Structure 1
Amino acid sequence: MEPKWLKWAKQLQSISQAGLTYSKDVYDLERFEMIKKLSIEIVSQYTDIEESVLKNVFVNESGYATPKVDIRAVIFKEDKILMVREKTDGKWALPGGWADIGLTPSEVVVKEVEEESGYDVRAIKMIGVFDKKCHPHPPSLHHTYKLFIQCEITGGNPKTGIETSDIDFFAENKLPPLSIDRNTESQIKVAFRHLHNPNEPIYFD
C-alpha cells in the first residue's frame, strides 16, 4: 500500500538505528550515520517535511527499531459500533491511541475509551492485529501495528474528551466519514464479522 521510496527509507532508518546502537567500530558508526542521513534525505525529497523536523520525528529513537503499537476499541451496542469524532480531522474513528509504556493492551484500551468517550469498559476479546502497511491507510513514517480489542460497556456516560468532539454508534451499512489514518472501512468490516460470528478467528497482518 505504501510507496516503495517510503518503504526503503524506513528500512534504511531501521538499519542505521540498530547499527548505531550495537556497533563499536568508529568507521562502522560513521557509515550508519550516513545511512541515517540518507533515509532523511529520501523522505524530505518526496515530501514537504523539512530535514530538521524529520530528525526529531523520524530518526529520534535509539536501540533496536520495532513497530509502534496503536490500540483501538471495538464496542457494539444494538448491532452498532461506537465511534468518536477526532478533532484533528473532523472524521470518525474507533476510540484508541498509542500504547503506553507500563500498561497492558487491555489497560490501554480501557483508559483510551474512558478518555475519548466517557464510557467505562472491560476488554473481552482480541479482534485482530493489523499491519498498517497492508491496509489502505495514508503513508506513514512509522511502521505500525494496530490492535483491535473488543470491549463491553460496564458504566459511564457519553462524554467527549480533549481529542474528540462527538460520540455515536453506527450501523455497518451507515458508517460515517472515517479517519483513515486510524481505521479503514475494511477493518471495521472485520470487527463486524466478530459481532455476527463470535467464533470468527483473530485477524492478523
Structure 2
Amino acid sequence: MSDPSDLVRRAAVRVAALAQDGLAYSVGDPAKDYDTARYRELSELAADLLAAVSTTPREVLRAVLDADSGYATPKVDVRAGVVDEQERLLLLRERSDGLWSLPGGWADPGDRPGEAAVREVLEETGYPVEVVKVVGVWERDVRGKQPPMPVSVFHLYFLCRLTGERVAHSELETLDVGWFGLEELPELSQRRINRWELERLLAHHRDPTLPTEWD
C-alpha cells in the first residue's frame, strides 16, 4: 500500500504543475483575470499541501515552485558514471551535504545532455572523459530518492570513459574525489544517487551491448 503522505505529495506536485500551466496561458489576458486568480490560489494550495507532508519549510518549497515558469515540464539531471580498469566508480564528495555522489547536476538550457555530463565530470573532478552510451533514463520518485522534491525530475545516466590524466584544478566544485568499488562505497548522497543505479552503471560497463533502460 502506498504511503498516504507520498500520495498527497504526488497530488500536490501535479496540482502545482496544473496551476503553473494555467498561469502560463492566462497571465496578461484581461479576459482571463478570474482564471489567473484561481490558478494562483491553486498554486498556494499546492505549497500548503507540500509543506504539510514535508520537513522542508513552506517558504523554501514556495521558492522552488516559483523558480519555474511557462508550461511545467520535469527537470533534467545528468549523471556520469566513470569506471576504471579495476571496476571502480569515480565519486565526489558534495559540498552541500558532505556525502558522496556521481559527477553531475541540473542540465542548463542550451546544454546537449552528453556535453553537460562531460563538463560536469571535468568541473567537479578534474578528469577529462567522453560519453560511451546512455545507460538509463530514470524518474526520481520511481527510484525512491530521498527526500522527495516538490517537482518531477528525470535522471539521465551516462556511462563515460577517461580520455586523459586528471587536470590540476585549483577550484574544484567538490570537497573530495575518489575511486570506489561497490563493496567499499562511502556514504552516498541519497537525494542524488543510490546503489542500484551504480550497479546498473557497472553492469553496462561490463557489457556495453546492454540496451538503454528507462522508467
Q: How does 1:16-95 map to 2 (within 5 A)?
A: 16-23=19-26, 24=29, 25-78=32-85, 79-95=87-103
| Amino acid paired to 1:163 | E
| Amino acid paired to 1:69 | V
**How far 1:44 moved relative to its partner?**
2.1
In the alignment, the residues of structure 2 paired with residue 106 and residue 42 of structure 1 have an alpha-carbon distance, to the nearest angstrom, of 36
Q: Which deviates the most, 23-32 or 62-71?
A: 23-32
Q: Which deviates the most, 44-53 or 87-96?
A: 44-53
In the alignment, the residues of structure 2 paired with residue 95 and residue 129 of structure 1 have an alpha-carbon distance, to the nearest angstrom, of 16
In the alignment, the residues of structure 2 paired with residue 125 and residue 111 of structure 1 have an alpha-carbon distance, to the nearest angstrom, of 16
3-state DSSP of counterpart to 2:159: strand
Unmatched runs of 5 consecutive residues or more in structure 1: none
**Matched residue, 1:119:** 127
Percent of aligned positions that are identical:
34
Unmatched runs of 5 consecutive residues or more in structure 2: none
Q: Are the counterparts in 2 of residues 71 and 105 from structure 1 also a CA contact under 8 Å?
A: yes
| Amino acid paired to 2:96 | T
**Matched residue, 2:209:** 199
Cα deviation code 1:20-50 (max 9, x no counterpart) = 1113422222211111110011122233444
3-state DSSP of counterpart to 2:175: strand
* TM-score between both structures, scaled by the size of structure 2: 0.88
* TM-score between both structures, scaled by the size of structure 1: 0.92
Cα deviation code 1:35-69 (max 9, x no counterpart) = 11100111222334444333322233211100111
3-state DSSP of counterpart to 2:51: helix
Q: Which deviates the most, 164-173 or 104-113?
A: 164-173
In the alignment, the residues of structure 1 paired with residue 182 and residue 61 of structure 2 have an alpha-carbon distance, to the nearest angstrom, of 38
Q: Give the number of the structure whose residues are more often strand, by fraction.
A: 1
In the alignment, the residues of structure 2 paired with residue 51 and residue 132 of structure 1 have an alpha-carbon distance, to the nearest angstrom, of 21
**How far 1:172 moved relative to its partner?**
2.3
Q: Which deviates the most, 163-172 or 108-117?
A: 163-172
Q: Are the counterparts in 1 of residues 80 and 158 from structure 2 also a CA contact under 8 Å?
A: yes
**Matched residue, 1:108:** 116
Structure 2 residue corresponding to 1:15, chosen from 13, 18, 22: 18
In the alignment, the residues of structure 1 paired with residue 60 and residue 193 of structure 2 have an alpha-carbon distance, to the nearest angstrom, of 26
**Matched residue, 1:166:** 176
In the alignment, the residues of structure 2 paired with residue 182 and residue 93 of structure 1 have an alpha-carbon distance, to the nearest angstrom, of 7
Structure 2 residue corresponding to 1:155, chosen from 142, 151, 164: 164
Q: Are the counterparts in 1 of residues 126 and 172 from structure 2 also a CA contact under 8 Å?
A: no
Per the alignment, do residues 91 and 198 of structure 1 end up closer, same or farther by CA in structure 2, a change over 3 Å counting?
same
**Matched residue, 1:190:** 200
In the alignment, the residues of structure 2 paired with residue 115 and residue 106 of structure 1 have an alpha-carbon distance, to the nearest angstrom, of 14
